[in-house]
C-alpha cells in the first residue's frame, strides 16, 4: 500500500466490517478499529476512499437489518470526521456520490452481499464495482479465502492493487510460520473437531518442532492410540487417519497426559482430573489436566515461535476453562513470536485478559486455517498478480 500514489485518486478499500449488530447498534467493533491504520494512511495521503464490506449473510437480498449504515456512524466516531454512507453498492447513485468526494473524504457503500453478484463473483457486478475507483486495496483478510466479486473479480480491472496494513500484517506472521519460522517452533492445536483442521495438522507437521494437541480433537487421536474415550468427542471416520498421522509424526505430535472428565456436557456436571488413559464409562473429557498444562507450558516457554489455534477445552464453561486460560497466559508471557488465530481461540485470549501481549492475533479464522493448510487464498493471489 505504501507504494501507491493515492493523492486525489479514488481508492476502493475492501474492508471487513462484518460486526455484530443488534437493533441497528454495533455491539462490538474490533474489526472496525482494526482497519483504522489503513484508512488513516490513505486519508492522510489525500485519497478519495470508497469502502466496501459485507455484513452477515443476506443471501443476495436487501435486508434492512443488515445495513452498514450504523457502521458508518461508528467509523466516523473513531476517525473523528464524517463518513458518508451510500444506500446502494453499484450504479448511478454510487457514481454520483463518489464523484462528489474531495481529497481525504470517504464513502461507505451498502452491504456487498445485498447483491447475489458478490458471492457469485459475477463478472458484470465485479466490473461495475471496479468503476468506482482507480486503485484497489484489500484489508479484509477474513474473506481473502473467498473468491468473491469484491475480493477477487473486481481486482482484475485495476492496474495497481495492494494489501492494506492489516492484511499485510496477517500475511507477514502467517507466512513466517510457513516459510521462515524461528526455531524451536511449537504449534498448539485444539478446538472441537479434527476434521476442521486435518489439513492444518498435516501442513504444520512439516514445519514445526512440536505440535501439541488438545481440546476435543485430541480424542480422535487418543482413540487411534487405543485408549478409552468414553463419550468424548471422537470422529470415528477420522480414527484411521489419526493413526497414520501419529505414525508419520512420531514424537513431534504430542497428546495430553491427563484430562478433566465430566459426567455430562454441563457446567454443573460432576468432574475430576484423571490420567489420559482413564475415563469412567459414559463420561467425557472436557479440558486438559494440570500435568498437560505443565508439559505444554514447558514446550511453549522453550519456543521462539508459537502458533495457537483452537481451545484446549470447553473454555465457555468455567470448570473446563483452566487449561485454555493457563496456556494462553504462558503464550502471552513468552519472549517468542506468538500468533493466535481462530474465532474461539481469540475469544479465549480476551477472556484470559492477555490479548495485548500476543504478537499477532489473526482476525480471520477460516482464512488463517486455509493459509496454514498451505492453500492459496484467491483474495491474496489476485493482489500478487496485480
Instruction: Enumerate binding residues for ligand ADP (CB under 6 A).
Output: 190-192, 196, 215-216, 233, 285-286, 309-311, 313-314, 316, 342-345, 365
Q: Does 366 bind Mg ion (CB under 5 A)?
A: no
67/292 with CB nearer ligand ADP = 292
To Mg ion, the closest distance from the beta carbon of 211 in angstroms equals 19
Cell output for 6 = 493515492
Beta sheet of 258-262, edge-to-edge order = 271-275, 258-262, 284-288
152/229 with CB nearer ligand ADP = 229
Angle between helices 322-333 and 343-351 (to 10 degrees): 80
Q: Does 344 bind Mg ion (CB under 5 A)?
A: yes
Q: Does 290 bind Mg ion (CB under 5 A)?
A: no
> Which of 193, 252, 304, 357 is an active site residue?
193
Inter-residue contact 282 to 232 (CB < 8 Å): no
Residue 84 interacting entry, from ligand ADP, Mg ion, none, C-beta within 5 to 8 Å by type: none
How many residues in the chain? 386
310/378 with CB nearer ligand ADP = 310
Residue showing cell 490479548: 355
45/146 with CB nearer ligand ADP = 146
Binding mask 126-155 for Mg ion (x = CB under 5 A): ------------------------------
Residue showing cell 468506482: 132
Asked about 238 being catalytic, the answer comes back as no
Alpha carbon of 104 to those of 76, 107, 218: distances in Å?
13, 10, 51
Per-residue burial over 214-246, b if 16 or more Cβ lie within 10 Å, else e, is: bbbbbbbbbbbeeeebbbbbbbeebbebbbebb
Residues 6 or more apart from 376 whose CB is under 8 A from it?
A: none
Inter-residue contact 134 to 10 (CB < 8 Å): yes
Inter-residue contact 191 to 197 (CB < 8 Å): yes
To Mg ion, the closest distance from the beta carbon of 9 in angstroms equals 39
Residue 289 interacting entry, from Mg ion, ligand ADP, none, C-beta within 5 to 8 Å by type: none
Stretch that binds Mg ion, among 27-35, 180-188, 290-298, 337-345 (CB under 5 A): 337-345
To ligand ADP, the closest distance from the beta carbon of 242 in angstroms equals 15
Stretch that binds Mg ion, among 104-112, 135-143, 338-346, 353-361 (CB under 5 A): 338-346
Tell me, by CB under 5 A, how many residues bind Mg ion: 2
235/344 with CB nearer Mg ion = 344
To ligand ADP, the closest distance from the beta carbon of 268 in angstroms equals 16
User: Judged by CB under 5 A, which of 343, 351, 355, 359 binds Mg ion?
Assistant: 343
Q: Please report which residue ranges of 45-159 form alpha helices under DSSP H.
A: 69-79, 92-99, 116-119, 123-130
To ligand ADP, the closest distance from the beta carbon of 351 in angstroms equals 12
Closest by CA to 106, choosing from 53, 55, 152, 156, is 53
Asked about 31 being catalytic, the answer comes back as yes
To Mg ion, the closest distance from the beta carbon of 200 in angstroms equals 13
Residue 196 interacting entry, from Mg ion, ligand ADP, none, C-beta within 5 to 8 Å by type: ligand ADP
Q: Could you check whether the bond before residue 294 is cis, i.e. omega within 30 degrees of 0?
A: no
Inter-residue contact 326 to 214 (CB < 8 Å): no
CA distance 258 to 274: 6
Residue 29 interacting entry, from ligand ADP, Mg ion, none, C-beta within 5 to 8 Å by type: none
Asked about 357 being catalytic, the answer comes back as no
In 3-state terms, the chain is what percent helix, strand and coil (to 5)?
A: 40, 15, 40
To ligand ADP, the closest distance from the beta carbon of 140 in angstroms equals 18
Catalytic annotation, residues: 31, 193, 343, 366
Which residues are at the interface with Mg ion (CB under 5 A)?
A: 343-344
Amino acid at each position: 500500500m505504501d507504494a501507491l500514489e493515492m493523492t486525489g485518486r479514488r481508492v476502493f478499500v475492501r474492508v471487513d466490517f462484518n460486526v455484530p449488530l443488534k437493533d441497528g447498534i454495533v455491539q462490538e467493533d474490533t474489526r472496525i478499529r482494526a482497519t483504522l491504520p489503513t484508512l488513516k494512511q490513505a486519508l492522510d495521503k489525500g485519497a478519495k476512499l470508497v469502502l466496501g464490506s459485507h455484513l452477515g449473510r443476506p443471501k443476495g437480498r436487501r435486508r434492512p437489518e443488515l445495513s452498514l449504515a450504523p457502521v458508518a456512524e461508528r467509523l466516523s466516531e473513531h476517525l473523528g470526521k464524517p463518513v458518508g454512507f451510500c444506500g446502494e453498492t453499484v450504479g448511478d447513485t454510487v457514481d454520483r456520490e463518489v464523484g462528489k468526494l474531495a481529497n481525504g473524504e470517504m464513502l461507505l457503500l451498502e452491504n456487498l452481499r445485498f447483491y447475489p453478484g458478490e458471492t457469485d463473483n459475477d463478472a458484470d457486478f465485479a466490473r461495475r464495482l471496479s468503476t468506482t475507483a482507480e486503485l484497489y486495496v484489500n484489508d479484509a483478510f477474513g474473506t481473502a479465502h473467498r473468491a468473491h466479486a469484491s475480493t477477487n473479480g473486481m481486482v482484475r480491472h485495476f492496474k495497481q492493487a495492494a494489501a492494506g496494513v492489516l492484511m499485510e500484517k496477517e500475511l507477514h506472521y502467517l507466512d513466517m510460520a510457513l516459510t521462515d519460522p524461528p526455531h524451536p517452533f511449537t504449534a498448539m492445536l485444539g478446538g472441537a473437531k479434527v476434521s476442521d483442521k486435518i489439513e492444518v495438522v498435516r501442513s504444520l507437521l512439516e514445519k514445526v518442532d512440536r505440535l501439541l494437541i488438545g481440546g476435543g480433537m485430541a480424542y480422535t487421536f487418543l482413540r487411534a492410540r487405543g485408549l478409552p474415550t468414553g463419550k468424548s468427542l471422537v470422529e470415528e471416520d477420522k480414527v484411521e487417519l489419526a493413526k497414520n498421522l501419529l505414525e508419520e509424526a512420531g514424537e513431534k505430535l504430542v497428546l495430553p497426559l491427563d484430562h478433566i472428565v465430566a459426567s455430562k456436557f454441563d457446567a454443573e456436571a460432576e468432574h475430576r482430573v484423571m490420567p489420559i488413559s482413564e475415563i469412567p464409562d459414559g463420561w467425557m473429557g472436557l479440558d486438559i489436566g494440570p500435568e498437560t498444562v505443565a508439559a505444554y507450558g514447558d514446550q511453549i516457554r522453550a519456543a521462539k515461535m508459537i502458533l495457537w489455534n483452537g481451545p484446549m477445552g470447553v473454555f465457555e464453561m468455567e470448570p473446563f476453562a483452566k487449561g485454555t486460560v493457563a496456556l494462553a497466559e504462558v503464550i502471552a508471557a513468552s519472549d517468542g513470536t506468538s500468533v493466535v488465530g481462530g474465532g474461539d481461540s481469540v475469544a479465549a485470549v480476551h477472556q484470559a485478559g492477555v490479548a495485548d501481549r500476543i504478537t499477532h492475533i489473526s482476525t480471520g479464522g477460516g482464512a488463517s486455517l486455509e493459509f496454514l493448510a498451505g492453500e492459496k487464498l484467491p483474495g491474496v493471489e489476485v493482489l500478487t498478480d496485480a
